[in-house]
Amino acid sequence: MSGKTTTVLTARGPAGETIEVPVGRVTGTRDGPTMLLVAGVHGSEYVGIEACKRIFLWANPDRLSGTLITVPCLNVPAFYGLAAHVNPIDGINPGRVFPGRPDGSYTERMVHLVWELARRADYVIDLHGGDLEEELVHYSQINLTGNAAVDDAAEGLARALNMPFFVRRPAPAELPMANSGLHPIAASHGIPAVLAEAGSHGVLDENEVSVLVGALRNALRHVGLIAEPLDPPREPLVLCRFEGVAAPAEGFWYPTVGKGEIIRRGQRVGEMRGFFDEPLATVTTGEDAAVLGVIATPARRKGDLLLGLGTLD
């Protein structure tokens, strides 16, 4: 039956507490694919959360062919707890434990609720939005699997988002089946899945939200959920791998490059300094790459991420 509904998925936590995940469903008047949008894996990434909310409000069952399922915020405890990256209840990053377990930790059980939706979907978009310390470009990413049909469908969906940067991560020797993000796990199970990033610093920036909403509308057109002409295609800068630059020492991080810049192997990209401004380390890169994200907060421990890069080769 066509229509628009909202519900809350629930599970019992390890300590007997109730886990709740909000879900919206729009069922069209005509047959078509099922697309799942999941936002708020990290509860302070408000751009993705707001864009997911708005797509649900915008979607009209009378114009829809198929089903749109939206999870505006998976990690509700982090949303209210102002926790970057992790679920504050157990300190676990939900983006590292898909598909979760119904008898696992709080976060694993929370993730498993959404995995039950994902495994039945035809397409999945994993919406993120720049956590509290991140400054990001707009980019999409797929994780190749070696299954040409799945990989081609995922790339078509990612390109339909019309982001300026597109990361095509190579297929690993062994596909991840556990303890990974939503989009890699969905791809490993034969579901075309895409990561979409837009936003910075956990700020609910209207321009960033508008970019992501427009991207998602075009994605719905691309898969046939909405019968409207596609936006003019944008040829992205295609990147080959995602690599991080880690802090070589504990201290203050001072980047000398910004998001979107093209950097070269061996280039100085910043420095680490101490509490009395003493130099601790010069940070360089080992890649020719585009800077997808910069950690904009100074406090970094040794090994913490400083830059996220999309490599040129």
pLDDT at 95: 97
First-to-last alpha carbon distance for the chain, in angstroms, is 48
Enter the tokens of residue 115.
Answer: 């995995």
CA–CA separation, 184 and 175 (whole Å) = 8
Low-confidence ranges of the chain (pLDDT < 50): none
251's CB contacts (< 8 A; 6+ apart) are 272, 273, 274, 275, 280, 300
Cα 129 to Cα 31, 198, 275, distances in angstroms: 31, 5, 31
Q: Where are the beta strands (DSSP E) in 224-266?
A: 237-239, 242-246, 251-255, 262-263
pLDDT at 277: 97
**H or E stretch at 260:** none
Other CB atoms closer than 10 Å to residue 106's CB: what's the count?
Answer: 20
Mean pLDDT of the chain: 97
pLDDT at 129: 87
HEC assignment per residue over 60-86: CHHHEEEEEEEECCCCHHHHHHCCCCC
Listed residue (181, 185, 182, 125) closest to 153, CA to CA? 125
User: Considering the entire predicted model, what is its pTM?
Assistant: 0.96
Write out pLDDT tens, residues 13-46: 999 999 999 999 999 999 999 999 999 999 999 9
| Helical spans, DSSP H, in 143-294 | 148-160, 182-188, 206-223
The SS3 call for residue 270 is strand
Could you tell me how far CA 255 lies from the centroid of its own chain?
A: 24
Kind of pairing between the strands at 65-71 and 18-27: antiparallel
Q: Which domains does the chain have, with CATH numbers?
A: 3-237 (3.40.630.10), 240-311 (2.40.50.100)
Write out pLDDT tens, residues 59-108: 999 999 999 999 999 999 999 999 999 999 999 999 999 999 999 999 99
pLDDT at 1: 84
What is the rounded (10 degree) CA torsion for 207, 25, 57, 61?
Answer: 120
